[in-house]
Amino acid sequence: MGLLSNLALLLAATSAVVAETTATPNVPKISSITFSGSGCTRDPKFSGTFSDPKLTFHDFSATLPGKNQTVHCQAHLQATGGSKGWQYAVKSNTIRGHVVLQPGTALTHYTTVYFSQKPADTESFKDTLSNSGNRTINRSVVLAGKSDGKKVWSPCIGSDGYTGMLNVNFRAVLTGDAKAYFEATSEEWDVEWRQC
Ligand SMILES: *[C@@H]1O[C@H](CO)[C@@H](O)[C@H](O)[C@H]1NC(C)=O
Ligand SMILES: *[C@@H]1O[C@H](CO)[C@@H](O)[C@H](O)[C@H]1NC(C)=O
Ligand SMILES: *[C@@H]1O[C@H](CO)[C@@H](O)[C@H](O)[C@H]1NC(C)=O
């Protein structure tokens, strides 16, 4: 009897989960967003929502040669009002800006994502733009970055609706032995959800 009723409960629970997979979670409300790093000495402007965040930079620029050949800006984001039993991850990341690369120089950008609850679990997106030609590159760029495939998920949202603290660190590095310049104007990312 005990076994049978446990089985019935298990079946009921399983069908409830199946029924919910088509459900969509609430869009949490951002309760706090702060910034740190040499690329955001004045805070970026934030627009959009938790689902389609956008940062617009005032002073994110890297210069080669000199002291600022590496620049970074890290966003720290917390939210409430999430749906219990869901968790999220950063799916993709897009940075727009302007680059000048003399021959023999390169721009590499890294975006590293982690949750403060588990800082050792990180996911990175990376791309390199090299100038191996003999003319200066001077143009707008859209940097998407390839993921290293180590997707990190937020803590499972509990009944308090708290999403955990997401950290997104964007870093640009100029290398080579000529002159180069990079300025980021904006950064956006997309999130995806799953039940947990
Ligand atoms: C490096 O960046 C800092 C902060 O943005 C700025 O104050 C400084 O003037 C820059 N230095 C050079 C050499 O560009
Ligand atoms: C620059 O490179 C192109 C091929 O990429 C070559 O045809 C041209 O001669 C080079 N010019 C100089 C000044 O080296
Ligand atoms: C890059 O191009 C812009 C115009 O599009 C120009 O004003 C600027 O001086 C150029 N920079 C370099 C380093 O060539």
pLDDT of residue 41: 87
- The answer to whether residue 118 scores a pLDDT higher than 50 is yes
Token pair for residue 19? 């029924």
Closest CA to 166 of 88, 109, 96, 94: 88
Token pair for residue 73? 């800006």
Q: What are phi and psi of 13, to 5 degrees?
A: -65, -40
- Domains contained in the chain, number: 1
d(CA 40, CA 119): 21
Task: Give the distance (Å) from ligand 2 centre to CA of residue 134.
Answer: 6
What is the CB < 6 Å shell around ligand 1? 38, 41, 59, 63, 66-68
Q: Is residue 17 part of a domain?
A: no
Q: Is residue 101 part of a domain?
A: yes
- Are residues 144 and 93 in contact, defined by beta-carbon separation less than 8 angstroms? yes
- Are residues 111 and 130 in contact, defined by beta-carbon separation less than 8 angstroms? no
Q: Is residue 11 part of a domain?
A: no
121-175 pLDDT per residue, tens: 999 999 999 999 999 999 999 999 889 999 999 999 999 999 999 999 999 999 9
Q: Is residue 18 part of a domain?
A: no
Please name which ligand lies nearest the alpha carbon of 103: 2
Task: Give the distance (Å) from ligand 3 centre to CA of residue 179.
Answer: 13
Nearest Cα residue to atom 13 of ligand 3: 100
Q: Is residue 42 part of a domain?
A: yes
Give the residue numbers spanning the domain of 184.
25-195
Q: Is residue 114 part of a domain?
A: yes
Question: DSSP states of 80-104 as a string?
Answer: E-PPTTEEEEEEEEEEEEEEEE-TT
**Which whole-number Å values give the CA distances from 180 to 46, 96, 119, in the listed order?**
28, 17, 33
Q: Indicate if ligand 2 lies below 6 Å from the C-beta of 134.
A: yes
Q: Is residue 144 part of a domain?
A: yes
pTM for the predicted model, two decimal places: 0.84
Q: Taking residues 87-105, what's their average pLDDT?
A: 96
Q: Is residue 169 part of a domain?
A: yes
